[in-house]
Amino acid sequence: GEDVEQSLFLSVREGDSSVINCTYTDSSSTYLYWYKQEPGAGLQLLTYIFSNMDMKQDQRLTVLLNKKDKHLSLRIADTQTGDSAIYFCAEPPGEGGYNKLIFGAGTRLAVHP
Amino acid sequence: EAGVAQSPRYKIIEKRQSVAFWCNPISGHATLYWYQQILGQGPKLLIQFQNNGVVDDSQLPKDRFSAERLKGVDSTLKIQPAKLEDSAVYLCASSFNSPLAGGRNEQFFGPGTRLTVL
């Protein structure tokens, strides 16, 4: 079955770069997503990458995709205290599924001065 | 545009009681999702609607959970009777896209309802 795995916790200093990693199982995924969840709030789409790309950059965010290793990463440059949140990697299920998402357990990012 | 609305934000009940959650998706979004998010875990899909029809309820514990979306807009999720393990945040999300697999699936989430079962 589908499975998305992430490390659970990351602590960085303000101004440093953060790298959040994710591994997924379904090789047929067309889009892969990163969502952000702030305390007491729902999830918000942060960025996504199409499977025929290996990198996507959007301002401070860089997404890297290694399809061979089924590895996805999110890099946040110049991390700020406002980036403190839980970050979820998500992928669609295997072939034949409706347009739904399988989420990882989330990586809690803590930014300290 | 207004986001996905959910109510109530918090609910505390005793086990074996019933509870209902309400969701109003973004206007024009045909697809609506209910997720259960247990503390420390990612959201798990319970049920997916396309307009007022169910397209996926494979993860819904049908002996105690039910959901409906009668007019293809608002939706309610009910638990009857509740168990201790139902304590979680229940998230509603909506999307504009086709329900078929393969397309980009940007889902917009509400703030969730935090349920505590004592």
Could you report the per-residue pLDDT of B51-76, keeping only the tens digit for each?
889 989 999 999 999 999 988 899 99
Mutate: best of B89, B109, B113, partner A, most A CBs <10 A = B109
For chain B, give the longest Cα–Cα distance: 42
* Candidate from A42, A93, A95 with C-beta closest to B91: A42
Predicted confidence at residue B71, as pLDDT, reads: 86
pLDDT of A48 reads 92
Question: What is the pLDDT at residue A97?
Answer: 57
Over residues A52-64, mean pLDDT = 94
User: Once rounded to an integer, what is the mean pLDDT over residues A12-34?
Assistant: 90
Find the mean pLDDT for residues A94-101: 66
- Among chain A, residues having any CB pair with chain B shorter than 8 Å are 4, 8, 30-31, 33, 40-45, 48, 50, 88, 90, 92-93, 95-101, 103-106
Q: Do B91 and A45 lie within an 8 Å CB cutoff?
A: no
Residue with tokens 């875990």: B41
The answer to whether B42 and A4 have CB atoms below 8 angstroms apart is: yes
| Residue B27 Cα to chain centre, angstroms | 17
Tell me the CA distances in angstroms from B44 to A14, A85, B33, B55, one per residue in order: 32, 19, 10, 16
Q: Note whether A93 contacts B101, CB cutoff 8 Å.
A: yes
Q: How high is the pLDDT of residue B8?
A: 97
Q: Which tens digits make up the pLDDT trace of A83-93? A: 999 999 998 87
Q: What mean pLDDT comes out for the span B44-49?
A: 94
